[in-house]
Chains A and B, each alone.
Chain A
Amino acid sequence: MIDNLPFLVVAITILLGLYTLLFRKDLIKMIMGISLIEAGVNLFLIALGYRWESIAPIFTGAPSLAMVMPTVQALTLTSIVIGVATLALLLSMVMIIYRHYHTTDVREVTKLQG
């Protein structure tokens, strides 16, 4: 069970992000929870493509020829950039909400309710 340490770290990170998203009532803390979940998913993608006793897939001055899988790292690059774009739009919307309501408590932002 101690060999699966990267997957255990992924599970704990996603659980912490879910707890922050469900149980906190401040908008900035909920955005931090979303960012934690995205970080956990990126780590899970990288940890899927590992082989024992292998090095990074680069041929410039490499010590050996046994390499890990390179496709998963390309998918993780795209996922990180999309996370940055989503985070920028979320933070901009929180700034506009603060300008109108003068508070960031999610229980007060109720003008569209009912």
Chain B
Amino acid sequence: MSMSKIIRTTADVMFMFIMVFGFYIVLHGHLTPGGGFQGGAVIATAFILLIVAHHMDDFLGWFKKDSFQTCEMSGLVLFIGTALAAISLGYLFFMNFLSGKGGLFGQFVPFGINQGFMSTAGTIPIMNIAVGIEVLGGLTIIILYMTSGIQSPEEGK
């Protein structure tokens, strides 16, 4: 079920470039087109490239299935936790409590065309990272279940 040596070597090299590109799309979601869902789909494509090019047993030896479940669960918990943290500080639910305050992501942006500063936009980059991690875990788990479901459904492997 694995492919030839040229395809395996190319997939190993392209995996790193696709992951870096996907994380760039997720992190710069408030400055350029992109965001959480789009970048998460690109990173999941990198993992699916490894699943297609190698044996399933080799892939399960490098990445456990439990780590993808942890990724998906922690992404959703981080998203809801950021929304609930605004209640404990005295604001409403889902309020953007970091924008314009001067802290971690709190630089003030005046109206008009500028070249884009990284540490702006409050809780939006935190939510982008949370949704990116959740989509990455979710899509890879779906593909892992579908490719192992082709075998017979008795007990064992």
A contact residues vs B (CB 8 Å cutoff)? 56, 58-62, 65, 77, 80-81, 88, 91-92, 95, 99
Contacts and interface: CB of A to CB of B under 8 A. Distances in A.
A95 B150 CA distance: 8
Contacts of A99: 153
Given A59-B113, A61-B113, 8 more contacts: A58-B33, A59-B112, A60-B31, A60-B113, A81-B37, A88-B142, A95-B149, A99-B153
B118 to A, nearest CB: 11
14 contacts: A56-B33, A59-B114, A60-B31, A60-B32, A60-B115, A60-B116, A62-B113, A65-B113, A77-B35, A77-B37, A80-B37, A91-B146, A92-B145, A99-B153
A92 to B, nearest CB: 7
Given A92-B146, A99-B153, A58 B32 contact: yes
A88 B146 CA distance: 9
Interface in B27-45: 31-33, 35, 37
A95 B79 CA distance: 33
Contacts of B31: 60
A30 B56 CA distance: 30
Nearest to B31: A60
A60 B109 CA distance: 12
Contacts of A95: 146, 149-150
A92 B14 CA distance: 29
B134 to A, nearest CB: 11
